[in-house]
Each structure stands twice: as structure tokens, then as C-alpha cells.
């Protein structure tokens, strides 16, 4: 084998049917894998104790202990190894049990050659991605020392890669993501691991101040510029000289101030409020938003030319519900932090608590998870955090997430009408309601017309009733 060629995957095939086991080994060996066969579960356990395998394919029903026991035992030792269960006695119950125990897939006999090849290829592809993601996450953590940016899911790995590529540059960055996803942490990662790290990292929240005060805060003012300006004051652009200015919630910035920010980005100079002379600035801008800025451009509430200036590089942070595999890692991180602060260092999670957290949708994302863990650590009286130690909202939503609510049978049209009414009742903002429904505002208006449902606009005014 040439040194540049990848090492073939190692597979252990387990079946008490010698003919079936040998056939499976031959099929996979012809695909280029290194395959060993075991004729019993006990022989398999001995093999597993001596050697490492990337993938295990085991029959479910065998004398002694069955394939599920093989799965459980090996998952305890090497949880990263994937297991495929094969059986001639397929049933819904056994399939559910296999997947709950951690099987990658469940295949019924007799299987076709192409079927088992596809399942094996898919399993090994996932194993390879797991290794690459974990390796990249560890390299990122070692390089940047950012232990609060946690996750080895594929979406987060893409974020790591983008951050790693732009830390040494001065490009303007736009970070998108729902509230609580960690946008400021990513902005800090970009700043503190680039050439501007020795200089200031300055944060301004564009949603917390009215526009006149925000303008003065950002650009500064001269004495007498307005009532109360008894002395000249530097703005945050000047405070961030040589460093980074992080503009959080930039979608809330008013249009006139957007024009001045655009000029500052284009000309690399600012004017204090009330002054005529420009001041040259060397500042990297990182902006963040939890709103779809394209939609705000269409609504006339955000400048399109400023949007183009801001998203030279765009980083989109996934919500926690789209990277559920990271929830146990994040929960463990916050548990260690708060348990250490409260001298409860021996605290652990019960498997039921982990499963409850995995099933909950976390509308507040990582920030909500963090607060939930802090509450659990404070309230628990034992050494194991149970589901009842978690906030009630987490327990209630998680317990019903996979279950269909009980309601009378009805047409899809009526179901859509009722759901539209519920969304509009809970989310009066038209833009947000349209986003949740996956439609644009015009479609939302047509749906409301069709079902004769009045709409509430952003000013709180109700459109004429269609009834």
C-alpha cells in the first residue's frame, strides 16, 4: 500500500450462522475493507478486547447473549464506534430497542448486497466526519483557547473553519443567528486571535439606545453639540482605534445613523456630533443580528448598500435545536462551571435528564441551556441531576415533543386555518410570524384574507376584519 493511501476501515462481522457470516465478510472485503468474522457473541467480545474496529455488524439473535448485549458492552468501552444490527426476526419493537441502545442502523435478513454496502458506507462516512469534526474542534480549542465555544456538530465545525480563515484578516464580518446562540463569543474569537488582539474589543448594543444617543455613543461629540454636552467626548470608534468595534443587534439601527455608519466604513473616517473636521479611524467592524436583514431591506428599514458592506464575510450560527448532538457537551461544560462555583463538584446528570434536554427545542438557545443548568445545580439536593431538577418549561415541552396532541380529526385546510390563528395570536409581529410559517409577508397576508383573519401590524394597529 502506498503511504498516501488511507487506511482501510476495520470491520468486525458477528453471526452464529457461519455461512451468512462468511458471505458478509467476503462482500465487504471485496469493497476494500479489513473484515474479521466472529461466530459467537463471546468470540466477538474477545476480539473487541484485543483490537479496535471502526464498525461492528452483528446478528441480533445469537446463543449466549445477543447482539444488543454486544452493542451495550462495546458502547460502554468505545462509544464512538458504530454498530449495525442484522436480524431475520425483524419487528418494530426490536428495531426501536436497537436504536435506543445506540445502534447506527437496523437491517433485516435477507438483505441485498447493495443494501448492506450502502448502509456500511453511510456508517463509515459518519464515523469519518465525527473524527474530522472532533479533530478540528480540538485544534481550534488549542489554537484559540476558547473553551466556551463548544460543539462538534457539522454546523459548528463549519463555523470554526470560517473563523480560523478570517482571524488574520481585516474583513468586515456579519454574524447571523437567533438570540442566545453565542454571536458575541464568535466576535471575540475573531478579534482575540488576530493581529488586532492587543487593541480594544469594544461592544455597542444598537437596540438599547435611542438614535441620537447611539450616534453620540458611536461617533462622540464636541462641547456644546447639544443640551448637556458640557465637554467633548470620544466615541466608541475612537475608543476602538486599532481594534474591533462589535455592533450587536445592528438591525435595530435607524436609517439616518445607518447612512453615517456606511460613510465611516467607506471613508474610514468619522465626524463627532457637532464637528466639521473628520477623524481618521482604523477599526475592524463586526456586526451581529438576530433578524433577517434581507427582509428588513425589502421593508425599507435597512439600507441595502450598508448590508453589502457588512457581509463581506457572513457567519451563520445554528440554533441549538439544529445541533442537538452538542447539547450533552454544553450541558456538561455548564455543569462543571456551576458545580465548581457551588462546591458540588461530584454532580452528574442522569441519562433521563440528558434525554430530556436533548428533546427540548431551546428557543433561547445556549443562553437558555446555561440558565437551566445553573438552576438545576442550585436546586438539586442529591448528587445526580434528575429531570425534575430542570425548569418546568423544559420538562413539559420535552415530554410532549414527540407526541401528537389529542384533537378531533379535521381537514388539512381547517388544520392550517387553526394553526395560522395560533401563530398570529402568539406572534403578532407579521415579519416574525411569516418567518415561522416559512412564507413571505405577501403570502401571509393572502392566507389571512383567505381565512378572514385580521392582522396586527408592527405599530400594534389591526387591519380591517375580514369577517
- The CATH number that applies at residue 112 is 3.40.50.2300
User: Quick one: 120 and 93 in the same domain?
Assistant: yes
User: Quick one: 184 and 60 in the same domain?
Assistant: no
382 in a structural domain: yes
Q: Of 38, 31, 131, 35, nearest to 78 (Cα)?
A: 131
**Which span out of 3-12, 218-227, 249-258 was modeled with the highest average pLDDT?**
249-258
pLDDT band at 115 (very low <50, low <70, confident <90, very high): confident
Write out the DSSP string of 114-167.
Answer: HHHHHHHHHHHHHHHHHHHHHHHHHHHHHHH--TTS---SHHHHHHHHHHHHHT
User: What is the per-residue pLDDT for 155?
Assistant: 84
User: Quick one: 375 and 424 in the same domain?
Assistant: no
User: What is the per-residue pLDDT for 51?
Assistant: 79
- The CATH number that applies at residue 247 is 3.40.50.300
Query: Is the predicted pLDDT of residue 464 greater than 50, yes or no?
Result: no
Q: How far is 214 from 441, CA to CA, in rounded Å? A: 30
Split into its structural domains, the chain has a count of: 4
User: Quick one: 306 and 172 in the same domain?
Assistant: yes
Residue 401 main-chain phi, psi, to 5 deg: -60, -45
User: Quick one: 102 and 192 in the same domain?
Assistant: no
Question: Between β-strands 313-316 and 220-221, what pairing exists: parallel, antiparallel or unpaired?
Answer: unpaired
Query: Is the predicted pLDDT of residue 45 greater than 60, yes or no?
Result: yes
User: Quick one: 294 and 250 in the same domain?
Assistant: yes
User: What is the per-residue pLDDT for 5?
Assistant: 53
Last residue of a domain, one of 400, 421, 449: 400
CB of 175 closer than 8 Å to CB of 317 = yes
- Classify each residue of 314-328 as buried b or exposed e, where b means 16 or more C-beta atoms within 10 Å of its C-beta: ebebbbbeebeebbe
Please compute the mean of the pLDDT values over residues 93-109 and round it to a whole number. 67
Q: Bigger pLDDT: 93 or 376?
A: 376
User: Quick one: 214 and 123 in the same domain?
Assistant: no
% of the chain exceeding 70 in pLDDT: 84
User: Quick one: 436 and 373 in the same domain?
Assistant: no
Report whether the peptide linkage leading into residue 110 is cis, meaning its omega lies within 30 degrees of zero.
Answer: yes
User: Quick one: 22 and 81 in the same domain?
Assistant: yes
Last residue of a domain, one of 97, 128, 159: 128
291 in a structural domain: yes
Query: Is the predicted pLDDT of residue 132 greater than 50, yes or no?
Result: yes
2 in a structural domain: no
Query: Is the predicted pLDDT of residue 139 greater than 80, yes or no?
Result: no
Domain span including residue 351: 321-400
User: Quick one: 353 and 302 in the same domain?
Assistant: no
pLDDT band at 145 (very low <50, low <70, confident <90, very high): very low
pLDDT digits (tens, 9 = 90+) for 408-422: 666 777 788 888 887
- The CATH number that applies at residue 459 is 1.10.10
Please compute the mean of the pLDDT values over residues 97-123 and round it to a whole number. 78
Q: Of 214, 194, 189, 199, nearest to 283 (Cα)?
A: 199
Question: Between β-strands 269-270 and 279-280, what pairing exists: parallel, antiparallel or unpaired?
Answer: antiparallel
Residue 200 main-chain phi, psi, to 5 deg: -70, 150
pLDDT digits (tens, 9 = 90+) for 329-360: 899 989 998 998 888 878 899 988 998 999 89
Mean pLDDT of all residues in the chain? 82
20 in a structural domain: yes
- The CATH number that applies at residue 343 is 1.10.8.60
User: Quick one: 278 and 332 in the same domain?
Assistant: no
Last residue of a domain, one of 316, 342, 368: 316
Query: Is the predicted pLDDT of residue 7 greater than 60, yes or no?
Result: yes
- What is the sign of the dihedral through the CA atoms of 120, 126, 130 and 136? positive
User: What is the per-residue pLDDT for 398?
Assistant: 56
60 in a structural domain: yes
**Which span out of 18-27, 35-44, 293-302 was modeled with the highest average pLDDT?**
293-302
334 in a structural domain: yes
Q: Is 287 helix (H, G, I), strand (E, B) or coil?
A: strand
User: Quick one: 250 and 119 in the same domain?
Assistant: no
pLDDT digits (tens, 9 = 90+) for 304-335: 999 999 999 999 999 999 898 899 989 998 99
142 in a structural domain: no
Which residue in this structure is represented by grid cell 401563530?
Answer: 423
123 in a structural domain: yes
Amino acid at each position: 500500500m502506498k503511504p498516501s493511501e488511507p487506511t482501510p476501515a476495520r470491520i468486525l462481522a458477528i453471526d452464529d450462522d457461519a455461512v451468512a457470516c462468511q458471505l458478509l465478510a467476503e462482500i465487504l472485503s471485496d469493497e476494500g475493507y479489513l473484515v474479521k468474522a466472529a461466530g459467537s457473541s463471546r468470540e466477538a467480545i474477545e476480539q473487541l478486547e484485543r483490537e479496535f474496529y471502526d464498525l461492528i455488524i452483528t446478528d441480533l439473535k445469537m446463543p449466549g447473549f445477543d447482539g444488543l448485549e454486544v452493542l451495550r458492552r462495546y458502547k460502554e468501552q468505545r462509544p464512538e464506534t458504530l454498530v449495525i444490527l442484522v436480524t431475520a426476526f425483524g419487528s418494530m419493537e426490536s428495531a426501536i430497542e436497537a436504536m435506543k441502545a445506540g445502534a447506527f442502523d437496523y437491517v433485516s435478513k435477507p438483505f441485498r448486497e447493495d443494501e448492506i454496502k450502502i448502509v456500511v458506507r453511510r456508517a463509515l462516512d459518519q464515523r469519518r466526519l465525527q473524527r474530522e469534526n472532533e479533530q478540528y474542534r480540538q485544534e481550534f480549542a488549542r489554537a484559540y483557547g476558547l473553551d466556551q465555544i463548544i460543539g462538534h456538530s457539522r454546523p459548528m465545525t463549519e463555523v470554526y473553519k470560517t473563523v480560523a480563515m478570517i482571524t488574520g484578516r481585516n474583513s468586515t464580518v456579519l454574524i447571523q443567528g437567533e438570540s442566545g446562540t453565542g454571536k458575541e463569543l464568535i466576535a471575540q474569537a475573531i478579534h482575540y486571535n488576530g493581529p488586532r488582539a492587543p487593541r480594544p474589543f469594544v461592544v455597542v448594543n444598537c437596540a438599547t439606545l435611542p438614535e441620537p444617543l447611539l450616534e453620540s455613543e458611536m461617533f462622540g461629540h464636541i462641547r456644546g453639540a447639544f443640551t448637556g454636552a458640557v465637554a467633548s467626548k470620544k466615541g466608541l470608534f475612537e475608543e476602538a482605534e486599532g481594534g474591533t468595534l462589535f455592533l450587536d443587534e445592528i438591525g435595530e439601527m435607524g436609517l439616518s445613523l445607518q447612512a453615517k455608519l456606511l460613510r465611516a466604513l467607506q471613508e474610514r473616517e468619522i465626524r463627532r456630533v457637532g464637528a466639521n473636521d473628520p477623524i481618521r479611524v482604523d477599526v475592524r467592524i463586526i456586526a451581529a443580528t438576530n433578524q433577517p436583514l434581507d427582509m428588513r431591506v425589502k421593508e425599507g428599514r435597512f439600507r441595502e448598500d450598508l448590508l453589502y458592506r457588512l457581509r463581506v464575510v457572513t457567519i451563520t450560527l445554528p440554533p441549538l435545536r439544529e445541533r442537538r448532538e452538542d447539547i450533552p457537551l454544553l450541558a456538561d461544560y455548564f455543569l462543571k462551571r456551576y458545580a465548581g462555583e457551588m462546591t458540588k463538584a461530584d454532580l452528574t446528570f442522569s441519562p433521563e435528564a440528558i434525554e430530556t434536554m436533548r428533546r427540548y427545542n431551546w428557543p433561547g438557545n445556549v443562553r437558555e441551556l446555561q440558565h437551566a443548568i445553573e438552576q438545576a445545580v442550585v436546586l438539586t439536593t442529591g448528587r445526580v441531576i434528575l429531570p425534575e431538577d430542570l425548569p418546568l418549561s423544559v420538562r413539559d415541552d420535552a415530554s410532549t415533543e414527540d407526541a401528537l396532541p389529542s384533537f378531533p380529526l379535521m381537514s388539512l385546510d381547517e388544520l392550517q386555518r387553526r394553526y395560522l390563528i395560533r401563530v398570529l395570536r402568539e406572534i403578532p409581529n407579521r415579519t416574525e410570524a411569516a418567518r415561522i410559517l416559512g412564507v413571505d409577508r405577501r403570502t401571509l397576508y393572502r392566507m389571512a384574507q383567505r381565512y378572514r383573519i385580521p392582522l396586527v401590524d408592527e405599530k400594534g394597529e389591526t387591519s380591517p376584519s375580514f369577517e
